[in-house]
Amino acid sequence: MKQLGSQTWEYTTRPVILGASAVVGPEEGEGPLAADFDFIFDSLEMGEKTWEKAERILFEKAAQLALIDAGLDQEKLEFFVGGDLMNQIISSSFAARKLGVPYLGVFGACSTSMESLAIASMIVDSGGGSYALAGTSSHNCTVEKQFRYPTEYGSQKPPTAQYTVTGSGCAVIARNDGTGKGPFVVSATLGRIMDLGLTDPFNMGAAMAPAAADTITAHFRDTGLSPGHYDLIVTGDLASVGLPIAQALLAKEGIPMEQTTFYDCGLLVYDRDTQKYVIAGGSGCGCSAVVTYGHILRRMKRGELKRVLIVATGALMSPLSYQQGESIPCVAHAVALESGGEGL
């Protein structure tokens, strides 16, 4: 691995995504990407008595299916890098208990999907291990209960509000021995904290948009590439409010995003015309995870996409910081993926 510029890692061996899975709840299963998910639970409870225990089941299922997809026995897995939105990242930590391998718990809020992928890829690329699992999860009811209001309260949401995805995405990252077909992890651009003073927990898209734009700008500055290098650049969960803001900020920086397809996972996972309860679109750790490890990887394997940049965004607030009137610091982490072919 080598450093490019000030914020980007280039993986010299290009670790391979050996297997992946996307597991979701019933509402995501009613959305336009249903065919790209590996397992759809038919209830939010998932056979458990609490939402938090249900999210743990979600994470454990995704990890299990990712290992099956990779054709890897659990005994051969060497590291697990994961996180979620719960206090003390209990969903990933309890899932790690079942996996029984060395564990790195990370928290980047909704940017955790790419943060965990970047770190797992670093472990493999550096020779620190041959197989690492990266993953994250979120559950609509646990997040609403912790950060806003319990689902049972039935509070009115403003037009800027987003709907937390009930889903977990995991990927097995393996050393590239030259035989893998990809997709491959090419680089990762780690984001800086951006905070423009927003305090509204119902307007995450606007809060996170500057972080997304800053990381995308850094990626092109560090790598010397242009947006046209990618078939798709997708943000994590800016949804209908944040994506136009990010586009405007990138235009101000002179980044020609019109060279590529620029979209958002929060706008892909639901049908906002028929699933009106999602309001501005999807959010949560599971949002970019299930779209990436389900929908996008399938498109890459079908040859529809060759190069993709995933820019997962996270609002690093907590119930305590909100109660103390703090603004919302945000971060975005980007990972570049490439399918097999020339240049490898």
Q: Which residue has the tokens 């890459």?
A: 300
Q: What is the mean pLDDT of residues 130-135?
A: 98
pLDDT of 328 higher than 70: yes
pLDDT score for 149: 62
pLDDT score for 342: 41
Q: What is the mean pLDDT of residues 125-138?
A: 97
Q: What is the mean pLDDT of residues 306-335?
A: 92
Residues 308 and 162 in one domain: no
The last residue of a domain, from among 174, 192, 224: 174
C-alpha to C-alpha distances, 299 to 3, 12, 69, 164, 231, nearest whole angstrom: 29, 24, 16, 24, 11
- Reading the block at residue 56, the tokens are 């743990």
Classify residue 125: in a domain, yes or no: yes
Share of the chain above pLDDT 90, in %: 87
The residue ranking higher by pLDDT, 147 or 229, is 229
Task: Give the model's confidence band at 151: pLDDT under 50 very low, under 70 low, under 90 confident, else very high.
Answer: low
- Reading the block at residue 247, the tokens are 């586009």
Count structural domains, the chain.
Answer: 2
Using the Cα atoms of residue 285, residue 290, residue 291 and residue 296 in order, give the sign of their dihedral.
Answer: positive
The last residue of a domain, from among 125, 155, 174: 174
Residues 52 and 169 in one domain: yes
The structure's pTM equals 0.95
Residues 306 and 199 in one domain: yes
pLDDT score for 343: 35
Cα Dmax for the chain = 54
Asked if 67 and 133 count as a contact pair (C-beta separation under 8 A), the reply is: yes
Look at residue 81 and give its three-state secondary structure. strand
Could you tell me which residues are beta bridge partners of residue 39? 23
Could you tell me which residues are beta bridge partners of residue 332? 313
Total residues found in the chain within this entry: 344
Residues 144 and 251 in one domain: no
Classify residue 261: in a domain, yes or no: yes
How far is residue 266 CA from its own chain's centroid? 11
Residues 155 and 244 in one domain: no
Q: What is the mean pLDDT of residues 55-59?
A: 96
Domain carrying residue 315: 184-338
Task: Give the model's confidence band at 325: pLDDT under 50 very low, under 70 low, under 90 confident, else very high.
Answer: confident
pLDDT score for 181: 79
Classify residue 121: in a domain, yes or no: yes
Asked if 171 and 81 count as a contact pair (C-beta separation under 8 A), the reply is: no
Residues 19 and 52 in one domain: yes
Q: What is the mean pLDDT of residues 318-326?
A: 82
Residues 111 and 138 in one domain: yes
Classify residue 179: in a domain, yes or no: no
pLDDT of 154 higher than 70: no
Instruction: Report the mean per-residue pLDDT for the chain.
Output: 94
The residue ranking higher by pLDDT, 63 or 149, is 63
Residues 129 and 214 in one domain: no
pLDDT of 283 higher than 70: yes
Classify residue 344: in a domain, yes or no: no
Classify residue 343: in a domain, yes or no: no
Residues 201 and 152 in one domain: no
Of 158, 162, 160, 166, give the one whose Cα is nearest residue 140.
166
Residues 69 and 159 in one domain: yes
Residues 235 and 305 in one domain: yes
Ranges 42-51, 100-109, 124-133, 178-187: which has the least confidence = 178-187
Element (H, E) at 246: helix 239-252
pLDDT of 341 higher than 70: no
The last residue of a domain, from among 174, 193, 226: 174
CATH code for the domain in which residue 148 is found: 3.40.47.40
Residues 259 and 131 in one domain: no
pLDDT score for 152: 65
Amino acid identity, position 284: G
Q: Which residue has the tokens 């996307």?
A: 22
